[in-house]
């Protein structure tokens, strides 16, 4: 017994170090592929705005880039945040109902339904978005039907409207909402809901007092997984939107590749990152889900 308890001191030292050695590959990876590019992005955002590919770009602490970027591009920036927020909310409503049904009502269909939720990932994101173009097209079935029912005017349309962009975003990010919601709903002990009924809670009260609070970790991670990529996404806005629906991702891309305006593009990227980070921190703090951070 005593022999087991007391280890030679070097062995304990070594074991302490093992933890650090295990950290090393991940830390090196992050250093190389996150920290270095991140520094490069900060530097880019502070480049002298007069720089060009002819003269080269110098890092001159040009904080004015941030002001210029915000002044010139606040509409697409807020549009992206707005589309992302609406799409996330729609995902939450649709996803919650679906995840609830899969977790509690699906019975032996549970696994099949989960596979169906993931199935869209087997085809490319681009192909799925392009097929929405076919669905919503001016001569397509949906528009024709809506026009026949007089819900949509004769020259009304769905494609190339903000509606199409948000619908596309909602569709594309729905699985990211359903999966974490399902994971936390599935963990809920049904006896807790039964107990609430025993205490004469109406089903709706039982849901809000028991099920909803217990599913909050899923709600928080689901909304984050939807919102963050949805704000940065510009494929939906480009393929399904019109000239009034351009979002910040598309602006950054065209500033980098077409205009070679690295300084403003870098500043916009940083602004987007800081805004999302601030909103996420605020949200997580408000939601109070400790096990996320």
Tell me, residue by residue from 96 to 135, as one string, x for binding to another protein by CB under 8 A and - for no binding: ----------------------------------------
Q: Is 214 helix (H, G, I), strand (E, B) or coil?
A: helix
Among residues 23, 97, 192, 259, the one that binds another protein under rule CB under 8 A? 259
Provide, rounded to whole angstroms, the least separation between the CB of residue 35 and another protein: 10
Output the CA angle 51-52-57, nearest 5 degrees.
50
Pair 128, 120: CB distance under 8 Å: yes
Provide, rounded to whole angstroms, the least separation between the CB of residue 126 and another protein: 12
Provide, rounded to whole angstroms, the least separation between the CB of residue 105 and another protein: 40
Among residues 55, 127, 153, 200, the one that binds another protein under rule CB under 8 A? 55
What is the crossing angle of helices 262-287 and 64-100, to 10°? 40
Tell me, residue by residue from 160 to 199, as one string, x for binding to another protein by CB under 8 A and - for no binding: x---------------------------------------
Return the range that interacts with another protein (CB under 8 A); candidates 19-27, 51-59, 106-114, 198-206: 51-59
52 beta partners? 56
Reading the block at residue 250, the tokens are 């598309």
Which is closer to another protein, CB of 6 or CB of 55? 55
User: How many Å apart are CA 223 and CA 258, to the nearest integer?
Assistant: 33
Tell whether residue 267 is a contact of another protein (CB under 8 A). no
Among residues 231, 241, 267, 268, the one that binds another protein under rule CB under 8 A? 241
Provide, rounded to whole angstroms, the least separation between the CB of residue 32 and another protein: 14
Which is closer to another protein, CB of 2 or CB of 257? 257
Provide, rounded to whole angstroms, the least separation between the CB of residue 59 and another protein: 5
Closest CA to 46 of 60, 33, 57, 35: 60
Closest CA to 240 of 178, 152, 172, 144: 172
Pair 19, 40: CB distance under 8 Å: no
Pair 248, 268: CB distance under 8 Å: yes
User: How many Å apart are CA 129 and CA 168, to the nearest integer?
Assistant: 7
Provide, rounded to whole angstroms, the least separation between the CB of residue 58 and another protein: 5
User: Residue 89 class from Cβ within 10 Å (0-12 exposed, 13-18 middle, 19+ buried)?
Assistant: middle
Reading the block at residue 243, the tokens are 């000239």
Provide, rounded to whole angstroms, the least separation between the CB of residue 76 and another protein: 5
Question: HSE-up of 163 (CA within 13 Å, CB side)?
Answer: 8
Provide, rounded to whole angstroms, the least separation between the CB of residue 60 and another protein: 9
Return the range that interacts with another protein (CB under 8 A); candidates 83-91, 94-102, 116-124, 252-260: 252-260
Among residues 66, 69, 73, 83, the one that binds another protein under rule CB under 8 A? 73
Please report where in the chains the tokens 């729905």 appear, as a residue: 174
User: How many Å apart are CA 260 and CA 60, to the nearest integer?
Assistant: 18
Tell whether residue 153 is a contact of another protein (CB under 8 A). no
Chain positions contacting another protein, by CB under 8 A:
39-40, 42-44, 46-47, 52-59, 72-73, 75-76, 79, 137-139, 155, 157, 159-160, 241-246, 250-251, 254-261, 264
């Amino acid at each position: 017994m005593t022999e087991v308890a007391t280890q030679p001191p070097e062995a304990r030292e070594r074991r302490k170090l093992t933890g650090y050695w295990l950290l090393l590959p991940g830390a090196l990876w992050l250093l190389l592929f996150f920290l270095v590019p991140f520094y490069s992005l900060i530097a880019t955002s502070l480049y002298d705005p007069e720089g060009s590919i002819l003269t080269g770009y110098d890092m001159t602490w040009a904080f004015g880039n941030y002001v210029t970027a915000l002044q010139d591009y606040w509409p697409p920036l807020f549009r992206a945040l707005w589309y992302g927020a609406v799409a996330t909310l729609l995902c939450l409503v649709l996803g919650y109902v679906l995840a609830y049904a899969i977790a509690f009502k699906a019975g032996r269909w549970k696994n099949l339904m989960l596979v169906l939720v993931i199935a869209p990932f087997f085809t490319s994101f681009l192909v799925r978005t392009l097929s929405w173009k076919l669905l919503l097209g001016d001569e397509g079935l949906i528009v024709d039907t809506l026009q026949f029912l007089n819900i949509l005017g004769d020259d009304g349309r769905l494609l190339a409207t903000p509606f199409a962009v948000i619908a596309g975003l909602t569709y594309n990010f729905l699985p990211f909402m359903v999966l974490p919601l399902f994971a936390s709903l599935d963990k809920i002990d049904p006896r807790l809901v039964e107990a609430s009924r025993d205490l004469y809670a109406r089903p709706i009260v039982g849901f809000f007092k028991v099920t909803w609070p217990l599913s909050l970790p899923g709600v928080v991670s689901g909304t984050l997984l939807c919102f963050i990529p949805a704000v940065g996404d510009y494929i939906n806005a480009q393929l399904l939107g019109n000239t009034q629906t351009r979002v910040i991702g598309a602006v950054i891309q065209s500033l980098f590749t077409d205009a070679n305006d690295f300084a403003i593009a870098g500043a916009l990227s940083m602004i987007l990152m800081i805004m999302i980070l601030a909103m996420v921190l605020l949200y997580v703090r408000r939601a109070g889900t400790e096990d996320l951070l």
